[in-house]
Amino acid sequence: MTESASTYVHESHGSVHGGEGPQYNFYVAAKAAATSRLRDQAARRRRTISEADRVHLYQRFVDPPRFTRARELLRETRTVLLDGLPGSGRRASALMLLHELPASRGSLHELPDTPDDSAASVLDEQDVNAGDRLLLDLSEAEESRYVEIQRDLFELRDRLSQLDAHVAVVLPHHLGYLLRDDLRHLTTEIGRPPAKRVLARHLRCEDLRPTSVELESQELGTYLSRAPLRKVAALADSIRQHRDASSAAGDFGQWLAAALADEHNQSARVAADIAAEASGRRRALLLALAMFHDSPPGTVLHATNSLLKVLSHPDDGTPRLDRTDLYAEFTAVGAEVGADGRVRFTLPGYANAVREHFWTYMPDIRLQLRDWFHACMATPDLEPDIRKAAIPRFAAQGLRCRRPEDLRWMVERWARPGTSAWYIPDAAQLLALGLADEQHGRYFRQQIYDWSTSTDAIQRLGQVLVPVCSEAMAPTHPDQALVRLHHLARRGEGRVSADAQAAVVALAHSDNRLYQLMLSRLSTGMERRLGDRDSELFLALADPIRLIRSQRVRTLLAQAWRVTLRRPDERWAECVSRWLSAGVAYAEYQPHVLEVLATACASDCRTAGRLFRVARAWRRAPVGTGAARVDTLDRLLRAIDTQQGLSPYERTA
């Protein structure tokens, strides 16, 4: 029988209402709203390396120039370093190179890009197993880290050869001058594949087959010549959406025109309009509408007045009825109120161009713009869909202008004590957007690690960090998500700790490699006496069947059991009973199950005696497997004797 990756389930338990109903339910509802937002956001981004997403990418992938050379390097040397201009598809190319390799052993996963719990390099040899296919994305690495990792990468190559493992590294193009000479022969600089071919491939996967003539428009050619490949893929998806939304019969030209209209760059027009507008109030109205696009007039008015206040703009002393109304003001800035009662600019792309103009050409007020957005989001009657739409607009400007600290500041304000739980979805969404950013994702992964290792920070941010780690970070960086969730389970209180523990167990059980990683962390942490939380987590995680034939797994399990069995019997008796029952239900695994338990207590006679007492109580349980239980108890005693170096015949009956 082959090794099973399944999980043995003896009992399942649901959550228990143990406190004040309204407060608890409010937290649960806010957490559910946060989870919903994060899943919706993740569904629109494909940066995971799961097999399903790799297949999705493979079907749409167009080999870039010099891709064949990269493929040969990887197969011959087990290492390839990919360079290229940003937007040329370096990460996708690295992923496809690994995807093409045989998958008979090991796993395809991304190496962590933060050291976590250690001053050691992210290139830990323990992260490499036989047959692994490893992705290391250094595209946004800083100088010191890039130099350090190159040294470790050179040393790691011997380990790759021993284990028949492969690694594809995405290099930081802006640090090309720092590349070591002894790694240059492993480097390939890929080119940008023809954008029109990329678009056509994506369209075919959506059952859209335009003719070559339909793809020859000048507007499309201009767009494709400038757009990074991710925008080309987004254009194809936009064309599909317009086709699916079309109620009447249409043609490709109409769908393409509509998709390109969504991408119109209105920056020149916006710059001219703002330069021509002398009124500070009118300019404030422009930005307020751009940030809260598709909102009711009252929302836009409140945001306008709030911006004027934050910027200390002089009050308009004109009597209210002598001033123009909102309808006239909207018309003056090229906006209209739709049949749904919401305000929007009439030109596609205009709102985004307004936001970019203010953040780009008024850098001296970026802090005030941050404070203004915070004040607007504090409005009690701001509808959830408006909040959800506004957050990515703010995040985009902060990230584009290299101000990730503005997002961090906002998250901390929304999660501080005394703030309404309904800010949890907002904070989670904003933090997840930072994580998803190619340029600043590592900054936020490191920030979340710092928060998760600080008890004070967890008290403020724990209820945000748990869903962000489990829903936003885990699909793309599962190792790092597991580490952070583990710290939250250790240091959190109440629902935060319970939710983090459940998330750790779910994530570790989703993948054999992560399961072993978590067992290793627990066995190490428990040996260092890091508290009861690790023992509780171990009892929830440890599976008597999963990978039990692996000597390494049995060693890790025995180490963790050794510490756990020193705690009061009532904490672990139920789990031991579950393990013994698994040995009865799966007889082929019983010797390994009993070996783990016997090894765990072999060095302590008192612990062995306590374990045996629990096992005897299990044997007497009124279930229809009496003979099998008696036999299992006898086998357990023999296993303990063997581990203690005693001959079975020295026992008294």
**Average pLDDT for 28-48:** 73
Backbone angles phi, psi at 529, to 5 degrees: 60, 55
Among residues 45, 41, 44, which one has the least CA distance to residue 426? Answer: 41
Q: 3-state DSSP call for residue 44?
A: coil
Quick check: 38 pLDDT over 90?
no
Please state whether beta strands 166-170 and 343-345 pair in parallel, antiparallel, or not at all (unpaired).
unpaired
Point out which residues pair with 135 in neighbouring strands: 110, 168
pLDDT of residue 51: 86
As a whole number of angstroms, the distance between CA 601 and CA 512 comes to 26
Dist CA 89 CA 47 (whole Å):
12
E strand segments, 198-272: none
**pLDDT greater at residue 13 or residue 286:** 286
Question: Which amino acid would we find at residue 330?
Answer: F
pLDDT at residue 154, rounded to an integer: 82
Q: What is the DSSP letter of 295?
A: B
Query: CB-side exposure of 463: number of CA atoms within 13 Å?
Result: 27
Instruction: Give me the residues paired with residue 344 across strands.
Output: 336
What is the identity of the amino acid at 41?
Q
| Residues ≥6 apart with Cβ < 8 Å to 464 | 34, 411, 414, 415, 424, 427, 428, 431
Mean pLDDT of 65-92: 95
Is 246 in contact with 255 (CB distance < 8 Å)? yes
In contact, 60 and 200? CB cutoff 8 Å = no
Across 358-379, average pLDDT: 97
Give the pLDDT of residue 20. Answer: 40
Distance CA 432, CA 424 (A): 12
Phi-psi region of 87 (alpha: psi -120 to 50; beta: other; left: phi over 0): left
pLDDT at 644 over 70: yes
Distance between CA atoms of residues 511 and 448, nearest Å:
23
* Residues with Cβ within 8 Å of residue 94, at least 6 apart in sequence: 80, 82, 135, 137, 168, 169, 170
pLDDT band at 3 (very low <50, low <70, confident <90, very high): very low
For residue 127 the two structure tokens come to: 């992260």
Whether the pLDDT of residue 250 is over 80: the answer is no
pLDDT band at 273 (very low <50, low <70, confident <90, very high): very high
What pLDDT does 18 receive? Answer: 38
pLDDT at 21: 42
Evaluate if residue 652 carries a pLDDT over 60: no
Whole-number mean pLDDT of the chain? 89
Strands 335-337 and 343-345: antiparallel
CB contact at 8 A, 439 and 433 = no
pLDDT value at 191 more than 70: yes
Q: 417: alpha, beta or left, given left = phi > 0 and alpha = psi -120 to 50?
A: beta
**Location of structure tokens 């710059």:** 271
Predicted pLDDT at 471 = 95
Question: Between β-strands 133-137 and 166-170, what pairing exists: parallel, antiparallel or unpaired?
Answer: parallel
pLDDT of residue 48: 61
- End-to-end Cα separation, the chain, in angstroms: 36
CATH fold of 63-189, please? Rossmann fold (3.40.50)
21-28 long-range CB contacts below 8 Å, 24 or more apart?
A: 24/495, 26/421, 27/421, 27/463, 27/495
Range picked from 25-29, 74-78, 623-627 for highest mean pLDDT: 74-78
* 68 DSSP 8-state letter: H
Calpha distance 308→582 (Å, rounded): 68
**Average pLDDT of the segment spanning 22-45:** 70
What phi and psi, each to the nearest 5 degrees, are found at residue 81? -110, 120
User: Is 341 exposed, middle or buried, given 0-12, 13-18 or 19+ CB atoms closer than 10 A?
Assistant: exposed
Mean pLDDT within 313-337: 87
313: left (phi over 0), alpha (psi -120 to 50) or beta: beta
